[in-house]
Amino acid sequence: MNKVHPDWLTREDLPLKKWEVQRGSAVRGDAWTNITDGKMRIPLDNSHLSRAVRIHEAIHAKVSPASLVIPDDFAIDEDVLRCVEEVRVNVLGQWQGFPMDALSDGSERVSAERCVNADDIAGIRNLIISTYGTKVNGVIMRAITKACKEQDKPKIAAFAKDIRQHLKYAVSQWNKYRRDELGSTLESAVEVDGEEVGIPVGYFSSLRLAEQLSNMVKPQPQDSEDGDPWKPGEGTETLPNGEQRFADPIIARLPLPERVAGRMGRKRIPSDMGTNPRRIHRMMTDPERRIFDRRARSLGGVILIDQSGSMHLGTEDLWSIIKAAPGCTIIGYSHAPRNTSGTPNIWVMADNGKVVVTVPPGNGGNGVDGPALLFGLSKRKKGDPFVWVCDGHVTDSTDDTHPDLDTFCVGLVKKHRIHMVPNVDGAVLALEKIARGERLEYKLVGPLERYDR
């Protein structure tokens, strides 16, 4: 056992400390780093693998939080976060020119085959993530592809490919835009179980990526056991099933890497009741002695946007809506007439304080107005507004109009108090009315207005 003073491990969020270094081996799981106690177990021989393990653990000591922290406003699988932190460490090591490719003990191929045999989707995901950025990742992908082909499991092979493609894109964004931030140990405060905790700024990159990858394992709405493409609740009406009908909904899972400032618009405001007197300074200045905090949530709701050829939505339009209602869910939809290639026709662009980087383009037609309304209703919280941005032209799968489809959508608008507006400016004005305390009643626009006479 050795006591060392590694000046290279200085951090902005923690004081320099003596490190206790224990002799270990390069076997997977035998090396570890305890940042809180300043202890490290690493192999000390001169092999390439041992050197790579030492560098890997030293980078953990340099940039990782003392414990695996998941802030309250992140929905993350803990195993995914642990694996993504390995990716961040590997990327930082590569930037410094260290040989991270040696991080392999030869067991990964067998592990990949076993996961495919057992249909262990989470295990496949974790293997791909934790080894990304090393040569062994290619070994794992080849083993998964081979096993899936032998066992006729194309969906698992496609899932593995999607995970790797998402990682490739995320790391490319780190290379372009996160070089100054990725390894930063400046402390930033987050809330965990309602208490403030400090974490390194660079760790937010791991949190954002882990949240996206965690969502990729959850079943899509259209994969629910009962075959219903949305959760039970509002919007359970049966779609028209005549000769002219809406296209089947194909819901895309888009990455939502951007985050709304102020944690989805929530803020703390003074209160005269509570358990933790955070504003004790108000005892002498506030007549009501509001020395406690309570959390006020900003305006939410569902904004459904027709992105067909007759409508237009840009990224600036998206953010103008978010600024008016930081807690809103924004859903876009557009169907390509006679589409048989499985192209998505409904997508979530903002949800729970997370937002796409750029607005996806539409597919030319409407086609899924009814299914999109039902999907939006499934996302609606009780009492929240629902604003539908549409010119009032409702069409079927071939982008033709039909009275039965019009009547169905009009019925949803009236029953669920959906407020239609013809453009984004109208949506912002409607949300500003709600912020002033006004109540939105149902409203029809365009060709649908004739059903309200």
CB atoms inside a 10 Å sphere around CB 73: 17
User: 451 pLDDT exceeds 90?
Assistant: no
pLDDT digits (tens, 9 = 90+) for 192-250: 887 888 899 999 899 988 887 886 664 333 433 333 444 445 667 788 877 778 998 88
The residue that leads in pLDDT, 158 or 310, is: 158
pLDDT tier, 140 (very low <50, low <70, confident <90, very high otherwise): very high
Percent of residues, the chain, with pLDDT higher than 70:
82
Average pLDDT over residues 67-96: 88
pLDDT at site 266: 46
At position 147, the amino acid (one-letter code) is A
- 339 pLDDT more than 90: no
Provide DSSP, 405-416. Answer: HHHHHHHHHHHT
Length of the chain: 453
pLDDT value at position 103?
54
Q: Is 410 left (phi over 0), alpha (psi -120 to 50) or beta?
A: alpha
pLDDT at 4: 53
Tell me the average pLDDT across 330-352. Answer: 85
- Do residues 192 and 69 make contact, with C-beta atoms less than 8 angstroms apart? yes
Rounded to the nearest integer, the mean pLDDT of the chain is 82
pLDDT of residue 228: 40
Q: Model confidence at 289, in pLDDT bands (50, 70, 90)?
A: low
Quick check: 44 pLDDT over 80? yes
Please report the pLDDT score of residue 230 as a whole number.
Answer: 46
Can you give the pLDDT at residue 233?
Answer: 52
- Tell me the sheet residues that pair with 181: none
Q: Which residues lie closer than 8 Å to 17 by C-beta, 6 or more apart?
A: 38
Is the predicted pLDDT of residue 94 greater than 90, yes or no? no
- Position 428 scores a pLDDT of 92
Q: What number is the average pLDDT over the span 396-405?
A: 91
Range of weakest confidence among 3-12, 283-292, 293-302: 293-302
